[in-house]
Copies of this chain bind each other. A is one copy, B any other.
Amino acid sequence: MSITIDIAIAKTNKYASRESGDTAEIVERPGGGMSVILADGQGSGRAAKSLSMQVTAKVAALLKEGVRDGAAARAANDFLFATRHGQVSATLDILSVDLKTNSVAITRNGDTACIIQTSAGVRTYREAERRLGLHSRTRPCIEEEPIVPGLRVLLVSDGVANAGQRSHQSPWDLNELATFLTSGQSAADLADSILSEAIRRDDGRPGDDMSVVALILREPVAAPLAIRRMTAEVPVP
């Protein structure tokens, strides 16, 4: 099927903290397609960052060997549990566009919220399975959708889903968050607009690390040549 995969990640740190504990990565799948891997390590600072990098590195290496997403998440759990003895945990989300199975799969462990928009409407998920690393038999929560132009998926970390809660507001209603999904926008614009609103809800001072992952499947623009693009913009404090 002819389609354009449009992926964007936008992140910011907890206010006044230099380093975030989460890591996001985009990898190519050996059978065709792309995966986004998002991990958040327990705690804060350098230890949490190292932990989330280890988890994404493990999962990225497995996916590139053709290991299926659910097995990679289980492997990451078992690896953490075996090496850290159930004493540290991490969240893990894998968002894959798998051209071999012709499906989009969202594999989650932890508290990242998920919004899926299809032609049938919007579905929202606030909780997922338990975090990785704490138990020997942790399984991921997996949602699957066929690859169809118009499909949109959002993953937002709890720092985004709970934005505004401190200032006596309720947590961000995921159906209200879903109203940011408008037609014609790019994944980058979508991720940026949600991150901006989350920051605004926290009065400009994020109470926690914030990550937004946006995936849009679009009809390809008619063009003589297919051009692939990747970008990264990383401010160093």
Asked if B53 and A236 sit within 8 Å, CB to CB, the answer is no
Chain copies in complex:
2
Chain B residues positioned under 8 Å from A229 (CB to CB): 8-11, 188, 191-192, 231-233
How far in angstroms is the closest Cβ of chain B from A41? 13
Chain A interface, number of residues (Cβ within 8 angstroms): 55
Among A7, A192, A195, A231, the one with the most B-chain Cβ atoms within 10 Å of its Cβ is A231
A12 to B223 Cα, complex, angstroms: 12
Asked if B224 and A204 sit within 8 Å, CB to CB, the answer is yes
Chain B residues positioned under 8 Å from A236 (CB to CB): 1-5, 32-33, 99, 220
A61 to B54 Cα, complex, angstroms: 10
Asked if B28 and A53 sit within 8 Å, CB to CB, the answer is yes
Interface residues, chain A, with chain B CB atoms under 8 Å away: 1-13, 15, 23-28, 30, 32-34, 50, 53, 57, 60-61, 64-65, 99, 187-188, 191-192, 195, 199, 204, 206, 220, 224-237
